[in-house]
Amino acid sequence: MIKNENNIKLRDHRSYKIVKANDLIQKSRFNLQLQEQKIILYLISKIKPEDVELKEHLFEIQDFCKICGLDSCNGANYIYIKKTLKDLRDKSIWITLDDGSETVLAWLDTVTINKDSGIVKLKIAEMMKPYLLLLREHYTQYELLYTLAMKSQYSIRLYELLKSYEYQRTRTFDIDELKLRLSAEKYKRFADFKRYVLDRAINEINSLSDLDVTYDIIKKNRKFIKIEFTMTIIKDITTRVKTWAKIEKIIGD
């Protein structure tokens, strides 16, 4: 009975919503590793629609590992998550403002971790409030579940970027701009960018999310210059249930 209750609680949390202002998605530059992104999304999923302040959140390392499909019985997880939290606390995000200037924000204000209890205390940085709280328009919403089974840091970033434009059905990016948004500038050759970033991310998005995405490459004078994405929202419940089952199989219950 207890196990069933825990499984229900686990599935319930995985279905929590991520809600971000479009500016935080579309006008930002940051470089977060896969688990750093998942920690931030996990925290954002805990924000309630009626919240007027960013709260300090407490969670057990074991719970986070279960929700994200990590090996919660692995003793190395404490060391790994401690290092990940420290790295995340030290990182920042650039956001372009309406006047064209850029401002840099921290992701987290405070990080406290207790080895004996396995409890972590985290608080999202106060300067993030306009992008996360009381959003009434120009925001993007999706379920935390759709990011949990993704194995590439680029998959999560591209998914939410395309999700923020899903109402347009198509979106074209300059290739250099897209590399910048995905923090994938190290892939100088387009063939490498396509293989290691683009194709892998599209495969995961199509397999593990509520979007079906295709793309066309636009050339000029033999040079690849733009990518046009076409996004279809998967509304068919049968298809969605199959996707949910696939994700649960990957990350466990």
Q: Are 147 and 159 in contact (CB under 8 A)?
A: yes
Quick one: pLDDT at residue 75?
63
Q: How confident is the model at residue 7 (pLDDT cuts 50, 70, 90)?
A: low
Residue 25's closest CA among 113, 140, 136?
Answer: 140
SS3 label, residue 207: helix
pLDDT at 63: 79
> Counting beta carbons within 10 angstroms of the beta carbon of residue 107, is it exposed (0 to 12), middle (13 to 18) or buried (19 or more)?
buried
* Predicted local distance difference test score (pLDDT) of residue 2: 45
In whole numbers, what is the pLDDT of the chain averaged over residues?
A: 90
Digit-coded pLDDT (tens) for 30-86: 999 998 999 899 999 999 989 999 999 888 888 777 787 766 556 677 788 888 889
